[in-house]
Amino acid sequence: MDPFDSNNSDRSNQPRNMIENRMFEEEPDVVDLAKDSTTFPTCQALDPDDVVYEPRSSRLLVRGLGENDMDEDDEDCESSARLLGMSFMNRSAAHRSCSSPYTRQGAPRSCVRPSARTLVVCILFLLIVASMTMVLCFLPGCTFTRSGCPKTNKTSPFEQVYPLSTSGAVFPWAQLRLPRSIRPLSYDLTLNPDLDNMTFTGRTIITMSVLHNTKCIVLHSAYLNITNATFKLGDGKARGVTVLEYKPREQIAVEFTEVLKTGQYCVLTLDYSANLSHAYDGFYNSSYTEKDGSKRVLAATQFEPLSARKAFPCFDAPAFKATFLIRIRRKPNHLSLSNMPKAKSTQLSNGLIEDEFEKTSVNMSTYLVAFIVANFTHISRNVSDTQVSVYSVPEKWEHTDYALDTACKLLDFYNGFFGINYPLKKLDLVAIPDFLAGAMENWGLITFRETSLLVGKQSSPLEKQVVASVIAHELAHQWFGNLVTMRWWNDLWLNEGFATYMQFMSLQTVFPQLDIGNLFLAVRFRALDKDALNSSHAVSTEVNKPEQVEEMFDSVSYEKGASILLMLNASLPGDQQFRKGIIQYLKEFSGLNTETNDLWNSLTQAEVSAQHPNVSDMMSSWTSQKGFPLVTVSRKGGQVTLTQEPFRLTSDNATQTSSLWNIPVTYVTDNCSVAPECRRTFYLKTKSETLKELPESIKWMKLNYRNTGFYITHYEDEGWAALINALSNNVNVLTHEDRASLVHNMFALSRLGRVSFNQVLHLLRYMSNETHTSPVTEALSQLGVIYRLLDKRQEHRLVARMKSYILNQFGSLMDKQTWEEEDSVSKQELRSALLGMACGLNEEKCIKKAQALFKHYVESNGTLRIPGDLQQVVFTVAAQSNEDWGTLLSMYGHVTYDAEKRKMLRGLASTQDARLLVWILKAGLMGDVIQTQELPLVISTVCNGFTGYLFVWDFIQENWDSLIEKFPVGSFAIQTIIKSATSQFSTQAHLDQVQGFFYSLKERGSQMRSVQEALETIRLNQRWMEKNLAALRKWL
């Protein structure tokens, strides 16, 4: 899935796009399960090893008590058990002895009267011994009830504590992970959506195999009203069964009196009804308005990660793969789509049509199932026996040509590159008017935001790059994610990191004119910035809650995952070894689920060079721990010493001393520094190592050639001075990637405190001679962050000086930019960044030119085209005038081209008029004039302005419950909202406000990683200001 806002003008900040835990499901790993005992525990008698210790709140819920209803005796028993280091939930009779561990001593032959003090001590000791003995004998057998503890447990070895279902009956499963005893084989789904009443009914028939003896079936269901349930065992007769539901874990269960035995097959049939979701997950309703003003409604799905259960009862976890046969009933004026081609359509007596789709030819995880009911049109083409189609609303069909052409070329490329043909008969790409994520890789039915799929015939190359990137990402998922799927969400990066890497690699090959390299470099920089925080996480990390699953969809899983794959590929000898390894991985695990080590093992087996380190040994250090290394270069004569340590903006002593990476360090020198053959590689595996002797005639060395490694470099002594001097004399002495990485690394080291900000400014002096896009855009991005921080701190004099510094430093480049059409993507990126900064700083010539362009655009009734890469600049300038703001709002309501429409929206949200800002925030929340899916974009834009950022913070606090109703807790939308609202705070007062608000939310968001990131960022901003404000006043 691509959860990101892929059409943000600051595209480097909006890239395109778990060790199994105890809260969620176990995977049905047949091979591993076969190793277990044949008498697998049933639901009523769990193996002690499979029982998890539940927190107090869980146990209280299980007993049917409120949070404050715990009897004092219960409290005492629990406290005693904790003090003794015991788990009273897991302790069995086999593990304890009720006999006293103390032996009675024989009476002494002579008596001495003890002192009073001795007597008191002895009595206390005896009381303690007696208490411990009672606890040891009785507590493990305690069954907690409302009447208190202990109550004698007459069962052996213990009675498991179970929660209560919605009916009041005991729910037969006490864990947050599904049992491993049942494996779904196939689903037969029939869905009947009613778009008039926004409801739907359904029937799910699940055929299952019994892997281990059990007396219950537990699966997922959320917000579904089960109206009827039947069960059939083998060839027996179907009979009615009772379904129990436990809503906190979104689980349902069916209990049996007899044991379902290993090897048996069974069928569960469930009839149900539900409302179509009004959020953006599950089976949800959407709408759009046609040119004549009429409103059209449709229904679509978004199941990743945990929402298939909201559309049909299922085993909703990646490892429970099965086949699907889907039927959808619709009105004649609609069409329906699903993963597979349509097999037949049947006219029903009630006037509806039932479309039946072919049974899936592959086993799929539930999150990849999809279906749509809408009034769409499409265009199609055949590629390698696959029909590729692009669907849209009728009024936008003319914007689908580029997407179809791009998809066909990329499908053909992937078929050849992976050595495995796309396995389905058709591939649909569908533009959904209301869609929160950038896109979703449903197998055979990929869904997109309209802005991620549709481009006009006159669209700029930069706009086409956006669409091509998202399509490339989602098509790569058809292999990485769909054909081979991560076993659990802790290894989400196996899906998303690979798809991100392949999106850039494929576009460089298939569409070199899109110049995707600059974008890939920028997102790697942003991934480093995020991973430098102590609140970051390992690429493969444990997740224990639904919101933690949602939070895995972040830059670590996507961009860091892609970055370490790039680093690995760059370090392998030859061009084909990496490809050979991933082909082996795909073929070996086709149709299966994997973990990170499976990938490393496949790549290790494909190695052809004895000189290269073992891939598993090298790469495990990059996925098992958070962060990345700082490599420090120290040189004395011809001897060069490399030292590694964690690059962590917030000090963490434990991590600082324990973290090591196996780093493929690449470097060039002034003897040879640009061509690929100049690169040398050294593997830094320990804390510090010495390079072989370098000639003392070498003036400088630059590490991390073309920035293919995921680390930052610091040059001690005269290292930085030599590099800066070399750039001052000849910009082209290094590749543009290396120049950009020097800029990024210098700013990062300044934030860490290893270099002064004066050194940063010293490096930037060479910028007047820079001509390439990536170094300039990186410098502008970094300076822009500092400028906005100073602006929000109301450091007016410093803001004025910073403005003058930027305009002086980059003024000559700004003056060279044209306002006409430009074909080069790289030049468009450069022009957009430079003119965006110039107009943002109210540079007079830029403002006048943008105002004139907007005036001509309005007077031409939209027939005069503003170049695509300049539209954001022009619309933002126009929105600063109240009159032009109103004109822009009117145009926003009528324009049909979505990329242009979003740029207008960002322009509207950039106004500094407080009343207009309040209106646009409320409009985004209401969803009438501005779609709610755009609210995160509106918030991030408003926060960039001086007037709006405090309004946004108040808005979020006042409307938090509404926000998490529309966007799941932990989702990328919520992450974006929190980061946008807080990342420019730098005072203790704001830190206290943010901390107080989020801590008060409790289960409604207080534990999110994005909250910890926000608090850490504010502290870092505060620290940077305290260290640098005085120096900035001097240097600027």
Catalytic residue set: 474
Q: How many CB atoms lie within 10 A of CB 66?
A: 9
Tell me the CA distances in angstroms from 674 to 157, 525, 969, one per residue in order.
72, 21, 47
Q: Which two tokens stand for residue 786?
A: 């500092």
The whole-angstrom separation of Cα 519 and Cα 740 is 12
CB proximity list for 553: less than 8 A, separation 6 or greater: 1, 3, 305, 492, 496, 971, 972
Cβ atoms of 496 and 473 within 8 Å: the answer is no
Compute the half-sphere exposure of residue 871: CA atoms within 13 Å on the CB side of its CA.
28
Alpha helices in 653-696 (DSSP H): 653-658
CB proximity list for 736: less than 8 A, separation 6 or greater: 772, 773, 774, 775
Spatial strand order in the sheet of 426-432? 377-383, 386-392, 426-432, 445-449, 439-440
CB proximity list for 61: less than 8 A, separation 6 or greater: 163, 248
Q: What is the CA radius of gyration of the chain?
A: 31
Beta-sheet pairing, 485-486 with 445-449: unpaired
Q: Which of 24, 26, 28 is nearest to 211 (CA)?
A: 28
Q: Which two tokens stand for residue 97?
A: 């002895």
The whole-angstrom separation of Cα 878 and Cα 990 is 32
Report how far apart the first and last C-alpha atoms of the chain are (Å, whole number). Answer: 45
Sign of the Cα torsion 743, 744, 745, 751 reads positive
Compute the half-sphere exposure of residue 551: CA atoms within 13 Å on the CB side of its CA.
25
Beta-sheet pairing, 282-289 with 663-669: unpaired
Q: Which of 500, 490, 545, 499 is nearest to 527 (CA)?
A: 500
Q: Which of 489, 490, 488, 515 is nearest to 504 (CA)?
A: 515
Q: Which of 746, 736, 815 is nearest to 776 (CA)?
A: 736
Q: Give φ, ψ of 631 to 5 degrees.
A: -100, 120
Q: Which two tokens stand for residue 307?
A: 């929402």
Q: How many CB atoms lie within 10 A of CB 383?
A: 17
Q: Which amino acid is at 298?
A: L
CA 739 to chain CA centroid, nearest Å:
30
Alpha helices in 169-247 (DSSP H): none
Tell me the CA distances in angstroms from 369 to 372, 387, 445, one per residue in order.
11, 19, 9
- Is residue 505 exposed (0-12), middle (13-18) or buried (19+ Cβ within 10 Å)? buried
Cβ atoms of 392 and 399 within 8 Å: the answer is yes
Complete DSSP assignment for 915-982: HHHHHHHHHHHH-SSS-GGGHHHHHHHHHHSTTHHHHHHHHHHHTHHHHHHHS-TTSHHHHHHHHHHH
Query: Where is 392: in which H helix or E strand?
Result: strand 386-392
Query: Where is 31: in which H helix or E strand?
Result: helix 30-33
Q: Which of 86, 69, 99, 95 is nearest to 139 (CA)?
A: 86
